[in-house]
Each structure stands twice: as structure tokens, then as C-alpha cells.
Amino acid sequence: QVQLVESGGGLVQPGGSLRLSCLASGFTFSMSYMTWVRQAPGKEPEWVSTIDSFNWRTTYADAVKGRFTISRDNAKSTLYLQMNSLKPEDTARYYCARGPISVLADRRTWGQGTQVTVSA
């Protein structure tokens, strides 16, 4: 069974930082592209970032470039998202997903998510 468990969300002030983690199991993590997506209430899901399974190349949505960093630790089967300079617009539930950007279209590839709220 594929299982993705996100953690690390919480309430932070604008300009603050937060690191999200996603513990993966049930598949060969080291051979899988991994993606972060987010969704705010009443809005469509938004792709955030992807890291590949071969050379750890990364891609980011324009809204988070320069502020967020995706990384992975294959020995721990864990995906990370370091979020700096957080803005209220970053408020959303964040999900990790197994696969490339195409996972955005299929919620069944996501974990349960972790809530990030950016507010003064």
C-alpha cells in the first residue's frame, strides 16, 4: 500500500519559515518523482514543486521560486519542502504526491496533507 504522511505544518507569521516533511512507504521511493501540491479552500489545486528520481533536478511554480526548496532523503524515504519568506497567499493545505506534475490532476496520488497558515 502506498502511504504518504505529511507533517510540519502550522501557524506562522508573514516572513517566517517552515519545513514540511513527507514520509513515504509502500513503493520504491528512490525511483519515484515526487511533487508538492497545495490547495486553499474554495480554490483549485496548485502545483508547487517537483523533484526527479534520477539526478534530483527540481522545478518550481513561479509563485514560490526563490522562497521554497524541495529536497529528498532516499535513505529515509522522506520528501521535504523548506518554505522561507512566507506570505499570506501561501496559506493552504500542502500535500506530497508520488509522481511528476501530472499528479495535480489526481488527488488519489496525494497524501493526507498538512495545513499551513500564514497570518499575523
Give pLDDT tens digits for 4-51.
999 999 999 999 999 999 999 999 999 999 999 999 999 999 999 999
Q: Hey, what's the cell of 118?
A: 500564514
Indicate if the pLDDT at residue 56 is higher than 90: no
Residues 27, 20: Cα–Cα separation, whole Å:
20
Three-class SS state of 88:
helix
